[in-house]
């Protein structure tokens, strides 16, 4: 077999894996949007069976021979090198997993999700704790299996979402960010400025219609996707099938609209990856920190910006009639109001990353065993009170609010803050390249920002590693400075600091 033949065999095998992963993703999407209530146990069996088949494909011993031969290709193109790099990475990780662990994880995650959903509705952490304990035990087993010699167990899981990242790299940046955020919040809390509030009637049908309009206006291709409702908004899929969800609060249309912009950002990234990379290892996203940068860019640097407020206000007035706000400036202030609250997804930009940093610390303690599962509810309340000055009245507003731990997504939370850091750095770079960015947003003309992101980020998929991709797009390594500068400017103007 020649190196070219070996590479072709690898790529065919990788495409089969990608196709089944996408099928599993559709099952997960259906579970969140349309599955009947009694389908949970059956869905767990389906997910477990698919996971078992995928694990067999991922650990197929023929891949090692194909890869060894294909790595002898003479001067391969960057996308081919990326394919080989990612296949080697995935094969190494899959080969280290004990037999049956992937299937057990898939079954437990699906079952745990159902238990979490009911426990959240009942505000009953004790009902969820045993399931969380089982998921953590399996994730700990996975981390122990896939970790490199001497590698921290949390880093071994984090690497799945943010390749090459580590706690040691992130902690200094997060510490400086935390210091800057707490200082900004102290000044905001001392301000006498009071924020206007939206008022009016906001029917579900009108909210969903406007959400659909905004997603399309951003460039989301509905011929390759759809918009549905879910308890926890998310985006899924790739290539020609990228789906988004949102949620509706009859009293607050901005939750629906900004959740839609957030998930549209994710979807635009997937729809923007070069077509020739689809279903190839090189065609995945660079990292979750890069993925989250896209959602946070469209939600915060576009949707919540002062420049976009006139356009957004006009669209909202058409959709809902009166808003109870006299001007676009009032809408800008209203949607950026800093308010005490318990829910991460409803948090303002000034406080959002404090929610993430709390989860980052708690999940590391859970994984290591320093924090027993049964103590999580109290530990969460204690930390929340220390950071935000209030205690959650019940677990539904506390440690049960997020879906992530029920799904076993240990190591995912810090990618939200990495996404905010990347988004702010990208926005600063975009402003340098498009000096009239504010005027573009004022007109509601979003094609140019999307084209810029397509060129700098989307089209590359995983060909360029995440850190290198962001440094290339932003003009240097990303740290906390652009995000803190963005927040200081925005909230300084709103609260007259």
- Tell me the pairing of strands 241-246 and 227-229: parallel
CB 466 within 8 A of CB 163: yes
Q: Which uninterrupted H or E stretch holds 65?
A: helix 62-70
Region of 273 please: left (phi>0), alpha (psi -120 to 50) or beta.
beta
Residue 345 has phi, psi (to 5 degrees) of -70, -15
Q: Three-state SS for 390?
A: coil
By CB atoms closer than 10 A (0-12, 13-18, 19+), residue 105 is buried
Provide the total of helices (H) and of strands (E) in the chain, helices listed first.
Answer: 20, 3
The three-state DSSP-derived secondary structure of 154-214 is: HHHHHHHHCCCCCHHHHHHHHHHHHHHHHHHHHHHHCCCCCCCCCCCCCCHHHHHHHHHHH
Residue 266 is assigned to a ligand binding site? yes
Q: Three-state SS for 236?
A: strand
Residue 372 has phi, psi (to 5 degrees) of -60, 145
Those residues whose C-beta lies under 8 Å from the C-beta of residue 119, and which sit 6 or more positions away, are 125, 127, 128, 395, 400
How many other C-beta atoms can be found within 10 angstroms of the C-beta atom of residue 485? 13
Residue 262 is assigned to a ligand binding site? yes
CA 404 to chain centre: 11
Which of 133, 119, 6 lies closest to 71 in space, CA to CA? Answer: 6
Q: Is 179 a catalytic residue?
A: no
Nearest-5° Cα angle at 452, 446 to 455: 135
Residue 292 is assigned to a ligand binding site? yes
CA distances for 219 relative to 244, 265, 453, angstroms: 13, 10, 12
Tokens of 152: 């921290």
Query: Which one from 86, 103, 255, 263 is the annotated catalytic residue?
Result: 263
Q: What is the DSSP string of 332-352?
A: HHHHT-----S-GGG--HHHH
Residue 99 has phi, psi (to 5 degrees) of -60, 135
Q: Three-state SS for 329?
A: helix
How many other C-beta atoms can be found within 10 angstroms of the C-beta atom of residue 251? 10
Give me the residues paired with residue 238 across strands.
Answer: 241
Residues involved in catalysis: 263
Annotated binding residues, written as ranges, equal: 262, 266, 292
Binding-site residues from annotation for Zn(2+): 262, 266, 292
């Amino acid at each position: 077999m020649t190196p070219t033949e070996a590479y072709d065999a690898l790529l065919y095998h990788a495409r089969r894996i990608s196709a089944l992963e996408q099928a599993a993703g559709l099952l997960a999407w259906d579970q969140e949007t349309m599955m009947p209530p009694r389908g949970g146990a059956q869905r767990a069996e389906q997910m477990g069976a698919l996971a078992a088949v995928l694990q067999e494909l991922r650990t197929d011993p023929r891949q090692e021979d194909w890869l060894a031969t294909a790595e002898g290709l003479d001067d391969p193109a960057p996308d081919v090198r990326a394919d080989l790099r990612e296949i080697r990475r995935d094969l190494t990780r899959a080969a280290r997993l004990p037999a049956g662990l992937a299937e057990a994880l898939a079954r437990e995650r699906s079952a745990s999700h159902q238990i979490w959903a009911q426990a959240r509705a009942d505000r009953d952490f004790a009902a969820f704790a045993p399931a969380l304990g089982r998921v953590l035990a399996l994730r700990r087993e996975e981390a122990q299996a896939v970790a490199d010699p001497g590698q921290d167990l949390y880093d071994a899981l984090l690497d799945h979402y943010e390749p090459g990242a580590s706690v040691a790299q992130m902690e200094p940046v997060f510490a400086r960010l935390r210091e800057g955020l707490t200082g900004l919040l102290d000044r905001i809390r001392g301000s006498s400025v009071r924020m206007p509030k939206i008022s009016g009637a906001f029917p579900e049908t009108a909210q969903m219609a406007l959400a659909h309009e905004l997603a399309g206006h951003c460039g989301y291709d509905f011929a390759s996707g759809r918009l549905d409702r879910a308890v926890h908004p998310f985006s899924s899929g790739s290539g020609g099938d990228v789906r988004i969800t949102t949620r509706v609060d009859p009293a607050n249309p901005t939750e629906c609209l900004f959740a839609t912009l957030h998930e549209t950002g994710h979807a635009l990234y997937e729809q923007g990856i070069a077509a020739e990379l689809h279903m190839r290892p090189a065609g995945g996203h660079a990292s979750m920190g890069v993925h989250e940068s896209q959602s946070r860019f469209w939600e915060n640097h576009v949707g919540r910006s002062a420049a976009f407020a006139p356009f957004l206000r006009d669209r909202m007035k058409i959709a809902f009639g009166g808003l109870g706000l006299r001007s676009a400036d009032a809408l800008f202030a209203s949607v950026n109001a800093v308010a005490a609250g318990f829910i991460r997804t409803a948090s303002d930009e000034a406080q959002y990353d404090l929610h993430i940093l709390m989860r980052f610390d708690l999940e590391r303690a859970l994984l290591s065993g320093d924090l027993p599962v049964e103590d999580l509810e109290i530990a969460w309340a204690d930390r929340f009170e220390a950071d935000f000055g209030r205690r959650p009245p019940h677990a539904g507003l506390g440690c049960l609010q997020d879906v992530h731990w029920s799904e076993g997504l240990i190591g995912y939370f810090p990618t939200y803050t990495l996404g905010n850091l990347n988004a702010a750095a990208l926005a600063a770079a975009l402003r340098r390249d498009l000096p009239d960015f504010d005027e573009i947003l004022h007109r509601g003309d979003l094609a140019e920002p999307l084209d810029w992101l397509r060129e700098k980020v989307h089209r590359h998929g995983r060909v360029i590693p995440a850190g290198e991709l962001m440094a290339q797009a932003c003009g240097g390594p990303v740290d906390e400075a652009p995000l803190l500068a963005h927040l200081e400017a925005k909230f300084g103007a709103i609260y007259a600091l």
